[in-house]
Amino acid sequence: MADADDHVDPSEFGEQDGPPVEEKPYKIIFEANKCFGAGKCAEKSRNWTLDLDTGIAKPEAYFIDESDLDHNIAAAEACPAKKDRGIIHVIDRRTNEEIAPDPNGDGSLSVDW
């Protein structure tokens, strides 16, 4: 688990499998182990599906472009997990900053690992 003073670099996660930044400048980091199946993400975004058998949501794509940005931000901001801090993180791959939910207000990745 990251301490409040630790900086977690979003570029460390998933980049080896990702498309070029120019094609998909945003990525989703999802703390699936903290999902409790509220389904708010699936209500807000066509990229998110709630599996009724497992009760866990998942994205169809982890790397997205501008056309999918707004509804994925809405999903991240609607997530009630972690006392409304959210477990869906939308990252700008060009700057490595968290766009949403960004509860710290500084663009740092707000994961609890």
Q: How far is CA 62 from CA 24, 41, 66, 86, 91, in A?
A: 10, 14, 13, 16, 10
Confidence of residue 1 (pLDDT cuts 50, 70, 90): very low
| Mean pLDDT confidence for 72-95 | 94
**H helical segments located in the chain:** 40-44, 69-78, 81-84
Q: What is the model's pLDDT at position 8?
A: 65
Q: How far is CA 97 from CA 4, 37, 44, 110, in A?
A: 16, 26, 22, 10
- Count of beta carbons in the 10 Å neighbourhood of residue 108: 19
Q: What is the model's pLDDT at position 74?
A: 97
Q: Which CATH class is domain 19-100?
A: alpha beta
Q: Where are the domains of the chain?
A: 19-100
41-56 tens-digit pLDDT: 999 999 999 888 888 8
